[in-house]
Amino acid sequence: MGFKHVLLLFLTSLSAIFPQDYANITVTVDLSDTVAETDDNFVCATIDWWPPEKCNYNDCPWGMTSVLNLDLNNPYLSKAIQAFNPLRIRVGGTLQNRIVYDVGSSKASCSPFMVTSVGLFGFSTGCLSMERWDEVNSLFLKTGAIVTFGLNALNGRHSVGHGVWQGLWNSSNAHDFINYTITKGYPIDSWEFGNELSGHGIGARIDAQQYGRDLIELKTMLRELYSSTNIEPLLVAPGGFFDDPQWYAQLLEVSGPDVLDALSHHVYNLGGGDDPCIARKITSPTYLGGFADTFRNVQLTIERHGPWSSAWVGEAGGVYNSGSPLVSNTFLNSIWYLDQLGMASRYNTKVYCRQTLIGGNYGLLDTHSFIPNPDYYSALLWHQLMGKGVLSVSISETTYLRGYAHCSKAKSGITLLLINLCKSATMSVKLHNDPNVDQPRDILKSSFFSNGRKRAFSWFVRKASGGSQEREEYHLTAKDGRHLSRTMLLNGNPLQLTSAGDIPDLRPMLVAANDPISITPLSIAFVTFPFLEVRACSSKQ
């Protein structure tokens, strides 16, 4: 193996805006072992229930993007999903706890959501007809989507005031709906129970002990309904904010082993859609890094109270209340989004669902045109390049360079994600192997030290068997340097649909392995090193 343990990258700031001397900053990638592992289909996007009447701050950005009214025959939609081959889609959101399924004993008049002053979240109960469910699954089957469906967890309960809901869950409607889904042969990968009813709740909350008993009931029902099939769908819950770790711990302990396959939580850490500080938060390394504590605490809660389960981010829009019309659909948002994907995977998160595939201001696709926003291409690049094996990365001296590394997907080597948060400094990263690992001493003595200070020395490349001494680079920047632009450039070329309406190929530029990596201000780079033979990655690509 060419590099046994550690890959070092030395960084130099090409602009003298920093008070520190950055000539000796290092980026270290530990190649000795993986530190976490994601699901093969880590990247996920949601389709929500919000109707056109959903408004925030005098902005109504949802249009016709609900499960109930989305144009399922739009060719841009199909092609956007198919490009992931496959894409995990979570069907769910706030109003899933207000939806009934028009099947079995619950068949009655099936009406959409209506605005009301007395209903929970400002809307009446809505209804999903089986005809519409058939149409939705036709899209999923055609595009090869992997589906997670969020069930109504409030059915049968009643409000006792102050947001608290009590009573037993009435599972009959869910039973009939799941049974219908099975008889139609729709391959649901996972069922999620409830949305934002955990901890302090959003609009409504349920006691953790009752929630845990409901999960046992649902798991038993799933096993019975699927007993005659060779399918064993996952059970995911509770799809809420991790604002009360004890609530989550109790949920795991009450439900017990072999019940809850994935503990899901939501991420909206940038503030509300009218917050004027969103852009500043995205470019603040302190603010971005602060959310690591949540991922760490979720991981620790699972390890201590439910090691049979795993962590999922079931919904993440960054900006709550439908996203920001000024930021969420622009290039700048990809800095937050990709940093989140990197951070979440580092803490053993298996799935990360973006709010939304389409709808609101934070859709991967534009609400009206269905044309991809910048974050769509960021998600697709991650999905195509970053394998499930996560490697440890550390960066000395500066927090303005964010870095994550994974085993490359479907190929040998590793892929490094670098994000430059600095607004005016280009960072040049020169590549080195660890001087303490397999490095000839005469090279160290002659070139690593000069005049009492460290300087760059030659990259010690060992060509892998049948491999190349070129690396692959994918540089993402904003059109015309406008970081709130809705056009993203890949290696200087605009990312836009082809004349046939297809998703363009995301092609790298090939660079000699010895050349520095140049990361321009407020930009993103994926860098793949296919010539590295990393034993830890052999089964995790």
Give catalytic residue positions.
Answer: 196, 315
Distance in angstroms (rounded) separating the CA atoms of residues 176 and 137: 17
Of 22, 104, 79, 92, nearest to 355 (Cα)? Answer: 92
Contact 493, 398 (CB under 8 A): no
Distance in angstroms (rounded) separating the CA atoms of residues 319 and 312: 19
- State how far the alpha carbon of 540 is from the alpha carbons of 14, 388, 413, 537, in Å: 36, 6, 11, 5
- Run of H or E residues at 238: strand 234-240
H-only helix segments in 184-255: 208-225, 245-255
Q: What are phi and psi of 26, to 5 degrees?
A: -125, 145
Neighbouring C-beta atoms of residue 271, cutoff 10 Å: 16
**DSSP assignment, residue 202?**
S
Token code pair at residue 401? 């360079």
Distance in angstroms (rounded) separating the CA atoms of residues 237 and 150: 9
Of 350, 342, 406, nearest to 44 (Cα)? Answer: 350
Of 227, 248, 244, nearest to 301 (Cα)? Answer: 248
Contact 213, 169 (CB under 8 A): no
Give the three-state DSSP class for 75.
helix
For strands 401-408 and 509-512, give the pairing.
unpaired
Neighbouring C-beta atoms of residue 432, cutoff 10 Å: 21
Half-sphere exposure of 539 (CA within 13 A, CB side): 1
